[in-house]
Every structure is written in structure tokens, then in C-alpha cells.
């Protein structure tokens, strides 16, 4: 068991990467604090883990709000006595996110709040908890678009993820001697609700598919395995990384026929 006796808080645990990670981390021995806004699916995540013999609680939090982030960290320490792994994963991709000319300021602010400020707030309250535990692992979900621009515009999303990557690198250096590792998980396009709702026509999906060397979208379960590596001691010398799990997209100039 790679996370035996560890306590892991995962945001966005009601769906996609967060849900798969909560399940996988629990099978590896972690006690799970599943955080989301979607109470029904979040409760279902925690109760399924408990039904399978694991330990988990669900905490309702809007990760763009400071008080909610403080409360979710408090809940982890109150329920399980400590925090070892902080997985800042919740995020959105708004259907009205576009290029600089056409993206409304409200969409920009909303995206920055949920995708970027949330990671700052998670770390603001989570790092003292990790320090109290003697160290730990922070995983921040950025994206492939933190390192590559998208010709199908989603400017607020791209900028928010660039911020997550930059913030993760700095935190990794600042806290390296405290036994706290910080890595940015950078997924390529995934077959999850977030992207499939954004690519809401066959034409939009086909436009992306051309650029995927493996000829398929990634799966949330594949990201969970990468996150498990970053959470566990298997990655004990990995910090500050741009951890690309993108099916080879960032290596491609032109994809093969």
C-alpha cells in the first residue's frame, strides 16, 4: 500500500480526475477528504469508499472562497488528525471562454477564481497543516495548456493554468527543505465532463482529435495513477516538476498518419 496511514484531501472529488484519484488513493491506504460543490456526487464518492472498507469524509467547499478553503483543511485535521497530501484539482472550463476580444471580464474573473486563486487558497491554509505533519506532497492540477497555447481559444482557462504551473514551481522551491514537495500535474485533453461539455459538437471533438498522437482522449483514471505517483514516496525526489501526462501531444510537431 503506497499511501498507508496518509491523509489526502482532494478537491473536485465528485467527478473526473478527483473522483478516480479519491478511489485509487483509498485503495492504497489513504484516508480521504473528498471536497466539492456537488454534494450528491461528493457524498457518493465518500460513501462508496467507506462501503469498500476505506475511510473517507465529504466536505462541501467552494474552492474559490477563502473561508471554505480554511474549513476544508480544518476538517481534515479534525477528522483524521493531520494532512499529508493536498491535491488542488477542482477546476472549470467555461463555455463562453474565448479569445482576448471575445472573453467577457466576468468569465475571466470566474475562471481565475476557481482555477487559480483556489490553488493559492488551498496552499495558504494547507501548507501550515503539512508543516504540522512534518511534510507532505502537494499536487496542483494545471494542464498541457500551461506550456502550450491552444489555437481553439480558451484564454482565461489557459492563463489560469499557466498561473498554477508558475505558482507550483515557486512553492516547490520555497518549501523544499521542509519535506514538502509541490508538483503540477499537466493533463492533456481528457474524456471527462469538463472537456466533453466544452467540446459539445462532433466537429469540435474532431478538431482536437487531429492533434492527439495516440488518436484518443486520455482517461481520468490515467491521471489518477500519475497523481498517485506524485502523492507517494515513489516520487520522493520529484518536486517543482511540470508533470505532463498528455499522450505525447507536447512532443508532436505533426502527428503520424
DSSP per-residue string spanning 182-222: EEEEEE-SBSSHHHHHHS-SHHHHHHHHTT-TTSS-B-HHH
Strand partners, 138: 86, 182
For residues 185 and 142, the answer to whether their CB atoms sit within 8 Å is yes
Q: Which is nearer to ligand NAD, 8 or 61 (CB)?
A: 61
List of residues 6+ apart from 108 with CB closer than 8 A: 155, 156
For every residue of 130-141, DSSP letters joined together read: HHHTT-EEEEEE
- 237 included as an active-site residue: no
Secondary structure of residue 255 in the 3-state scheme: coil
Binding mask of the shown chain, residues 62 to 101, with x at each position contacting ligand NAD by CB under 6 A: xxx------------------------xxxx---------
Taking the least distance from each CB to ligand NAD, the nearer of 38 and 250 is 38
**Choice between 63 and 107, CB closer to ligand NAD:** 63
Of positions 192, 232, 235, 239, contacts ligand NAD by CB under 6 A: 192
**By rule CB under 6 A, what string of x and - marks binding of each residue 100-139 to ligand NAD?**
--------------x-------------------------
Where does this chain bind ligand NAD (CB under 6 A)? 11-12, 14-18, 36-38, 61-64, 89-92, 114, 141, 143, 187, 189-190, 192-195, 220
Just list the catalytic residues: 157
Amino acid at each position: 500500500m503506497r499511501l498507508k496511514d496518509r491523509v489526502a484531501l482532494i478537491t473536485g472529488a465528485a467527478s473526473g480526475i478527483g473522483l478516480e484519484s479519491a478511489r485509487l488513493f483509498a485503495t492504497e491506504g489513504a484516508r480521504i477528504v473528498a471536497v466539492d460543490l456537488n454534494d450528491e456526487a461528493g457524498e457518493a464518492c465518500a460513501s462508496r469508499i467507506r462501503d469498500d472498507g476505506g475511510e473517507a469524509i465529504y466536505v462541501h467547499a467552494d474552492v474559490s472562497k477563502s473561508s471554505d478553503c480554511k474549513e476544508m483543511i480544518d476538517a481534515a485535521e479534525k477528522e483524521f488528525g493531520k494532512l499529508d497530501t493536498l491535491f488542488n484539482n477542482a477546476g472549470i472550463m467555461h463555455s463562453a471562454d474565448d479569445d482576448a476580444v471575445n472573453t467577457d471580464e466576468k468569465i475571466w474573473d470566474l475562471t481565475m477564481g476557481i482555477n487559480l486563486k483556489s490553488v493559492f487558497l488551498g496552499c495558504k491554509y494547507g501548507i501550515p497543516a503539512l508543516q504540522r505533519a512534518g511534510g507532505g506532497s502537494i499536487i496542483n492540477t494545471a494542464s498541457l495548456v500551461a506550456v502550450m497555447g491552444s489555437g481553439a481559444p480558451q484564454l482565461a482557462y489557459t492563463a489560469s493554468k499557466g498561473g498554477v504551473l508558475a505558482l507550483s514551481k515557486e512553492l516547490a522551491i520555497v518549501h523544499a527543505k521542509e519535506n514538502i514537495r509541490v508538483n503540477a500535474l499537466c493533463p492533456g485533453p481528457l474524456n471527462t465532463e469538463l472537456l466533453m461539455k466544452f467540446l459539445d459538437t462532433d466537429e469540435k471533438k474532431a478538431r482536437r482529435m487531429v492533434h492527439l498522437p495516440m488518436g484518443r482522449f486520455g482517461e481520468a483514471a490515467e491521471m489518477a495513477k500519475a497523481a498517485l505517483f506524485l502523492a507517494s514516496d515513489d516520487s520522493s525526489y520529484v518536486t517543482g516538476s511540470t508533470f505532463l501526462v498528455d499522450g505525447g501531444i507536447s512532443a508532436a510537431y505533426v502527428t503520424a498518419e
